[in-house]
Structure 1
Amino acid sequence: MMQLSRTRTIVYLTFLVTMWGVNWPLSKYALEFAPPLLFAGLRIFISGLILLPFALPRYKKLNLKHTWHVYLISALLNIILFFVFQTFGLKAMPAGLFSTIVFLQPVLLGVGAWLWLGESMTRLKMVGLILGFLGVAVVSVSGGSGSISTVGILLGLASTITWTFGTIYIKKTATKVDAIWLVTVQMIFGGIVLLAAGSTIESWMDIVWNLSFLSSLSIISIFCTALTWLVFFLLVGSGEAGKVGSFNFLVPLIAIVTSVLFLGETITSKLVVGLVLIIAGIALVNLKLKFLQRGTNDTW
């Protein structure tokens, strides 16, 4: 197993979390120039093509004949459904808030791993789950900001649920497929499906091929998708992947700050309460507190 220096690990983690955070407001901005399905298809397909040169040297590990169903199901959950819900959801509500709802995924994943993968459920994780859903309930209450839509919240929850089941499926089938090939194939296949669907119900003529869209699409495809996956696998190979989870709660914070600064999104007092509850829930699920590491946590 390749070991990374402390400095390099911090740099990689900072890049990963920052790009995940910037992705949300940048994607919302790009949607001003392109229809949702075509934009989702373009970003995913381009990312898959970028990853392909890194996957090709591992061609012996593809084994598509015996594992095609794993690639298909993973693409359906982690790419096609997830990005359809995500992209339409971003059209319906502020990027910062939407990213916070989607990043309830680590909370739901803790429950899913407990139910289907036999992992332990700590009291802290359960408290995090409750806080997270209380936060969603608070921001869903009528009478708040006009930017909040019930459809947007439902799409955010659908993205979270899809991502959760997709991650659980990947964990259950991890020994059957190569990780880099899995991401590459599902992105190329998922991107083709999304582009085909977009070409059917949307028009390529509606895409504004200006510098703003092209630069946004390039940054999202290269830095926020393809390179983040490569960095993630590098951290996995060095045994540092576990640290990614502890920084996940920073992603919606980065998305919110970026959205307020560059998209002019506003945050009401009611939304602040909801966001704090959601982020607190995510943090409780992810943070490895010292007293838990000493084995004092209760599990069910």
Structure 2
Amino acid sequence: MRNLFTKSNLALLLLVFFWGASWSVYKMTLLHMPPVLFAGIRALLGGLLLGAFVFAKRSEIRWRENWKKYVISSLFNSILFFGLQTVGLVYLPGGLFSVLVYFQPVLLGLFAWLWLGEYLAPVKIVGLLFGFVGIIIVSIDGLLVHISVIGVMLGLLTALCWALGTVYVKKVSRDINAFWMVSLQSIVGGSVLLGVGSMTESWSAIEWTIPTWIGIGYGATFGIPISYVIYYTLVNAGEASKVGSFTFLVPIIAVFIGTVFFGEPLTYTLLVGLLLVGLSIYLNSAEFPYFIKSG
């Protein structure tokens, strides 16, 4: 029997935990600073920290050759994803919003089949459908309980941008150093978000409290550079749809943390949606017992 505790599987479990915890951390931070400025600060700092770590390999950037790829990735994976994600958290609880964003694996499975030629087995199609129904149920929860059409729409748009960005990174992965891709897309995207935030929000509205520093620090380390290096490394090592299906676990962790530590409401519809999402994980991984091919 293959070893469950492979490096790939342990890395994936860390990724799921880092992302699951981030929703509540960011929701807490948004009580003390405007969303777009927060998104820009954590993205820019995260990109700069990662860039400093891999600075010795700066020759692999090849900016003249690859600048369009960096810009396109920045648009989907930083500007749109971080921007929509952070603004959306203003309208909905972190756990609920995370479940909407994790409609992404459903879209990722479809896009990987359409554009990357990855095989979409019947059992995976059924699993993706269960995930889709689960997200619809959670969306109803957001519309009826929290009365936020904007929040639901932002969550689904965030999922769409993330799925498109992930497929694009997978498509160009042979041409780009994964570390520099994360670093530069975060630097470019963070700079744009800071510019937009400076024009539409007020720096004086930032309250430099402990939760503010925790949110910025978490986003600039675990939330962006560390998590995305793990994520893209795993996507490039295996099939994008397999990695994406396992990240369905993230909203379960996010809902648990939000409910236990931050008092976010846990409704019956949200529970049903989570159960369907969990079933989707099982069906998407049924053919592949340990989710990731060991390298």
CA contact (8 A) 2:92 2:142 kept: no
Q: Following TM superposition, by how much is the alpha carbon of 1:128 offset from its aligned partner in structure 2, in angstroms?
A: 2.1
1:5-27 deviations in Å (ceiling 9; x for gaps):
94765654432221111011111
Shift in CA distance, 94/76, structure 1 to aligned 2, threshold 3 Å: same
Matched, 1:198 2:197: yes
Q: Which runs of 5+ in 1 are unaligned?
A: 294-300
Corresponding letter in the other structure for 1:221: A
The corresponding residue for 1:211 is 210
The corresponding residue for 1:102 is 101
Moved more, 192-201 or 144-153: 144-153
Distance in 2, matches of 1:287 and 1:102, equals 23
CA contact (8 A) 1:107 1:281 kept: no
Distance in 2, matches of 1:14 and 1:133, equals 23
CA contact (8 A) 2:106 2:245 kept: no
1:88-136 deviations in Å (ceiling 9; x for gaps):
1111111112111211212211111111111111112211222222223
Q: Following TM superposition, by how much is the alpha carbon of 1:212 offset from its aligned partner in structure 2, in angstroms?
A: 2.0
The CA RMSD measured in Å over matched residues stands at 2.8
Shift in CA distance, 287/60, structure 1 to aligned 2, threshold 3 Å: farther
Corresponding letter in the other structure for 2:191: I
Moved more, 124-133 or 138-147: 138-147
Alignment of 1:115-154 (within 5 A): 115-141=114-140, 146-154=145-153
Distance in 1, matches of 2:6 and 2:140, equals 44
1:147-202 deviations in Å (ceiling 9; x for gaps):
25221111111011111111111111112211111111110010000000000000
| TM norm structure 2 | 0.88
The corresponding residue for 1:298 is none
SS at match of 1:119: coil
Moved more, 135-144 or 78-87: 135-144
Q: Aligned residue pairs: how many?
A: 288
Shift in CA distance, 241/213, structure 1 to aligned 2, threshold 3 Å: farther
Percent identity (aligned): 41
The corresponding residue for 2:39 is 40
Distance in 2, matches of 1:250 and 1:5, equals 17
Moved more, 17-26 or 148-157: 148-157
Alignment of 1:68-79 (within 5 A): 68-79=67-78
The corresponding residue for 2:29 is 30
Shift in CA distance, 10/73, structure 1 to aligned 2, threshold 3 Å: closer
SS at match of 2:173: coil
Distance in 1, matches of 2:5 and 2:142, equals 48
The corresponding residue for 2:59 is 60
CA contact (8 A) 2:92 2:151 kept: yes
Shift in CA distance, 139/236, structure 1 to aligned 2, threshold 3 Å: closer
Distance in 2, matches of 1:143 and 1:104, equals 14
Q: Following TM superposition, by how much is the alpha carbon of 1:223 offset from its aligned partner in structure 2, in angstroms?
A: 1.8
Shift in CA distance, 153/233, structure 1 to aligned 2, threshold 3 Å: closer
CA contact (8 A) 2:141 2:270 kept: no
Moved more, 97-106 or 204-213: 97-106
Matched, 1:176 2:185: no
CA contact (8 A) 1:81 1:162 kept: yes
Q: Following TM superposition, by how much is the alpha carbon of 1:244 offset from its aligned partner in structure 2, in angstroms?
A: 5.0
Distance in 2, matches of 1:286 and 1:197, equals 41
Moved more, 193-202 or 96-105: 96-105
Distance in 2, matches of 1:248 and 1:43, equals 22
Corresponding letter in the other structure for 1:150: V
1:203-247 deviations in Å (ceiling 9; x for gaps):
00001011221122212221222222344567679x689885564
Corresponding letter in the other structure for 2:227: T
The corresponding residue for 2:110 is 111
Moved more, 209-218 or 128-137: 128-137
Distance in 2, matches of 1:168 and 1:233, equals 10
